[in-house]
Structure 1
Amino acid sequence: MSISAKDVKELREQTGAGMMDCKKALQEADGDFEKATEILRKKGQQLSEKRADREANQGLIVTRVSDDGSKAAALEINCETDFVARNDDFQDRAQQFLDIVFENQIESVDELLETEHNGLSIADHVKDMVGKIGEKIKINRVVFAETDGFFISYIHPGNQLGVLVEFEDDVEDPEIGKDVAMQIAAMNPLAVTRDGVDSSIVEKELEIAKDQLLEEGKSEEIAEKASQGKLRRFYEERVLLEQKFVKDNSLSVEEYLKNNDTPLVKSFHRLQLGDDS
């Protein structure tokens, strides 16, 4: 059956698949658009299965915060190459998936993949992307959160690192909130306060510090006391409110916020491409 260029173009606009793929699908389907679309979808699924074992360590981090700062969402979507990550269509789909997370208050990747959009599950939309792009595509992480305080987001240039920061109350100056989000991006704190640091990490740091001091010839008693001092320095490096503020090392982050009459940080989410911690 002869397939017109107009039909190929129309199917391409509907599915996003390549011109040759659309032409072959229409020929196989004898010009039936519905069948041709199904053929393309099956091809995407087969390609997705073939590429399942491939590394997908490129991609994007995207975030969204409501106008009143009460709701926030973030998403990490991966692909195989930076070339695809910079593609407008890939970026548009990432934003579309993020909006679905935000609007449906989705809190896990599995929940997102099961969610339907335009008659297909998000899992099937991802398979369609694989068929069109020819690379492994994976939604790696999603975040959705609500607060009675205020969220600020920050995306580092290149979209490979993003931060959501929850403040205890409204933030009147967004630039101050952004400064703190950039601090989290740059300094990668473990927690907002000491209480938020996992006890096993604290115990390990104390053990390492004490062992080092004992190897230096310090007595058990001195090593015990001195290891507490090393732990304090650890907190200053890895606890957000105790960290030196990157724009003014004479202040801690907590002092910077208090000096600017800005609420303290309640929690944060830091998403770095390929880092699941």
Structure 2
Amino acid sequence: MANITASMVKELREMTGAGMMECKKALAEAEGEMEKAVDVLRTRGLAAVAKKAGRATNEGTVMAIVNDACTTGAVVELNCETDFVGMNEKFKAYAEKIAKAALAAKPADVDALKAAVIDGETVEEIVTDCIHVMGENTQLARVAVVDAQAVSAYIHGGGKIGVLVTFNVEGIDPASDAFQKCGRDIAMQVAALNPVSATREDVPADVAAHEMEIYKAQAAESGKPEAIQEKMATGRLEKFFKESTLTEQAFVKNPDQSVSEYTDEVAKNLGGTIGIVDFKRFVLGEEA
């Protein structure tokens, strides 16, 4: 039996555009002969993918889902060539199936997700099938999976933005309609206003320092005493935190209260506590 190396599999993938596992099987069947392996894939209809493999994939959909218990969430981005296919319900069904595979397998990255199995087939095989059915080059761009005491998801614009928000909760069922309405509201907030982080404590130190440098330079131009300049810069940084961190932002549905005030109100009504921990926000076509 021929020794099938990783470089051989890579070469066949580049030649045909077929999936890694399919290439490996074809090489084994062809006893390591590249041309025969191509014929094997052509016979199976998989080498047809090669014609589409070089096309740009700038469209597609983002899919975000949670499990029944609302304690695990997955968001994936599946890219294709045209908006027409990206908005197609069949294409979205492929994305949802892949998201379900991610939810179950909890992969660390895209490669791990491609190897995940759902309903007897790998995600890589699902992507290949999508290419054949939809007739466009399709690429799995990225994935994120989160675990928490509570998770909520939101998809904006039919798949243009996908959001997962994680929470710490006490005395509240994360799967209850009342909590999930709140969770969805927060996820919608993330989609709409794109906060820098969940809380001011989570703002990267270099980001806060950079903002402070700008505000100090602005204050210096005022010509006022240094003590006043410092207060001006600190005040502007405080404004930055209130506008850029999720918990401190004005709640879109009621700008008279902050997001944290809204979650506190919901928590009180439900007889428990709600704390926003983090979020994932995927925008279609955005660099990972």
TM-score category (smaller protein)? 0.7 to 0.9
Matched, 1:264 2:275: yes
CA distance 1:179–1:125, shift in 2 (3 Å): closer
RMSD, matched Cα: 2.3
Which amino acid in the other structure matches residue 43 of structure 2?
A: E
Separation of aligned partners in 2, 1:182 and 1:150: 16
Residue 234 of structure 1 deviates from its aligned partner by 0.2
SS in structure 2 of the partner of residue 49 of structure 1:
coil
CA distance 1:213–1:142, shift in 2 (3 Å): same
SS in structure 2 of the partner of residue 62 of structure 1:
strand
Matched, 1:215 2:221: yes
1:50 maps to which of 31, 50, 54: 54
Q: How many residues align?
A: 239
Residues 154-193 of structure 1 aligned to structure 2 (within 5 Å) = 154-169=154-169, 170=172, 171=174, 172=176, 173=178, 174-193=180-199
CA distance 1:118–1:41, shift in 2 (3 Å): farther
Q: TM-score, normalised by structure 2?
A: 0.75
SS in structure 2 of the partner of residue 144 of structure 1:
strand
Gaps of 5+ in 2: 1-38, 268-272
Displaced runs of 4 or more, over 4 A: 34-37, 116-121
Equivalent residues of 1:47, 1:130 under 8 A apart: no
Residue 155 of structure 1 deviates from its aligned partner by 1.3
Equivalent residues of 2:78, 2:141 under 8 A apart: yes
SS in structure 1 of the partner of residue 190 of structure 2:
helix
SS in structure 2 of the partner of residue 264 of structure 1:
strand
Residue 255 of structure 1 deviates from its aligned partner by 0.9
Gaps of 5+ in 1: 1-33
Residue 135 of structure 1 deviates from its aligned partner by 2.7
Residue 87 of structure 1 deviates from its aligned partner by 2.2
Q: State, as a whole percentage, how many aligned pairs show the same letter.
A: 33
CA distance 1:253–1:37, shift in 2 (3 Å): same
Separation of aligned partners in 1, 2:166 and 2:118: 29
Equivalent residues of 1:47, 1:134 under 8 A apart: no
1:24 equivalent in structure 2: none
Equivalent residues of 1:47, 1:131 under 8 A apart: no
Residue 217 of structure 1 deviates from its aligned partner by 2.5
Q: TM-score, normalised by structure 1?
A: 0.78
Deviates more, 1:34-43 or 1:266-275: 34-43
Separation of aligned partners in 1, 2:53 and 2:182: 46
